[in-house]
Amino acid sequence: MKPALSVIFFTVASGAGYGLWCLLGLALAAGIYPLTGTGVLVPLGFGFVLVSAGLLASTAHLGRPERAWRALSQWRSSWLSREGIASLVTYLPMLAVAWFAFTRHAGMSLHVAGAVLALCALATILCTANIYRSLKTIAAWRTRQVLPLYFMFALLSGGLWLWAWLALTTGLAISLAFPLALLGLAIVAAVIKVDHWKCVDTLPVNTAGHATGLDMLGHVRAFEGPVTEESYLTREMAFVLARKHGARLRRIALALFGLAPALGIAVALASDTAWLAPVAALAAIAGLFVERWLFFAEARHTVAAFFPPTQA
């Protein structure tokens, strides 16, 4: 599949934003968040920037972005529609949390608003993952690892930003459990992602014989494509560049979203250097950009089998 920059940016940035909101919301709901007022508003606002920039970028993928509002109607069958609704609904508890933080209100309503924010953020991530997982034509996206990975990457990248904020304002000593949980998450996500890549590599590739149903005649190969120029289908569905550099890009992604945050957390905690926290967060985001690029570029679409290998 062609990796569209708008969609990659959307899933990475909004994913991080929702992950941040989810963890912040959970901490507020549980009453364990150490800061109030601005201490809540800054990470909340940063999540707002990530989420909104991602959502805006996603409209650049549309042929008619001015009609994006129409996407809210088919929630009964379409995960994209559900995602649109969930993403907008999530702004409501976010605004509630912002209001309570602004007015320094710390009662039950803040706990509830935090819990609702966390739930809505999780629901949006679920919808995003299911947009891809629901496409039967792209086997690489239907594997069992896709859904947990979307959650883990969102929580990891968002969580690192939240930790960076806490590390820079309250210092590293205040909480060990949170960065250690993130460290564990980075390792688990890396292991599951490697498993996903292994799975993708062993998926059967659709053949011309199967696609045309002509394999009963013997070996079928496409003599030439239906058009001599590129077409929408060959550009969009038959993208091959990634498979050439796949192995190297996978190592880069893994080092950035897995190894760098894990090492960053360990070293930061051991040597009490808070500035390593935002570096780890940045590395994770960069690694997820590469990971998401590969997620699209390495995924084979069934329809590619109709085209000769030179075009597919």
Q: Could you say whether residue 9 binds another protein (CB under 8 A)?
A: no
Q: Could you say whether residue 236 binds another protein (CB under 8 A)?
A: yes
- Of positions 63, 202, 204, 248, contacts another protein by CB under 8 A: 63
Q: Could you say whether residue 204 binds another protein (CB under 8 A)?
A: no
190-229 in b/e form (b: 16+ CB < 10 A) is bebbeebbeebeeeeebebbebeeeeeeeebebeebeeee
Q: Could you say whether residue 62 binds another protein (CB under 8 A)?
A: yes
Q: Amino acid identity, residue 272?
A: D
Q: Could you say whether residue 73 binds another protein (CB under 8 A)?
A: yes
Q: Specify the residue, 107 or 218, whose C-beta has the smaller distance to another protein.
A: 218
- Of positions 203, 214, 245, 275, contacts another protein by CB under 8 A: 214
Q: Could you say whether residue 212 binds another protein (CB under 8 A)?
A: yes
Q: Could you say whether residue 306 binds another protein (CB under 8 A)?
A: yes
Phi/psi at 239 (5° precision): -95, 125
Residues 116-135 close enough to bind another protein by CB under 8 A: 131, 134-135
Residues 277-296 close enough to bind another protein by CB under 8 A: none
- CB 227, min distance to another protein, A: 11
Q: Could you say whether residue 60 binds another protein (CB under 8 A)?
A: no
Q: Could you say whether residue 136 binds another protein (CB under 8 A)?
A: yes
| CA atoms of 83 and 55, how far apart (whole Å) | 10
- CB 68, min distance to another protein, A: 6
| CA atoms of 167 and 26, how far apart (whole Å) | 18
Q: Could you say whether residue 71 binds another protein (CB under 8 A)?
A: yes
- CB 129, min distance to another protein, A: 14
Residues 80-119 close enough to bind another protein by CB under 8 A: 80-81, 84
- Of positions 223, 229, 248, 270, contacts another protein by CB under 8 A: 223
Residue whose entry in the numeric block shows the structure tokens 């053949």: 207
| CA atoms of 306 and 287, how far apart (whole Å) | 33
For another protein, how many residues bind (rule: CB under 8 A)?
A: 45
Contact status, residue 183 vs residue 262, Cβ threshold 8 Å: yes
- Residues near another protein (CB under 8 A) are 1, 61-65, 67-68, 70-74, 77-81, 84, 131, 134-138, 210-214, 216-218, 223-224, 226, 231-233, 236-237, 301-303, 306
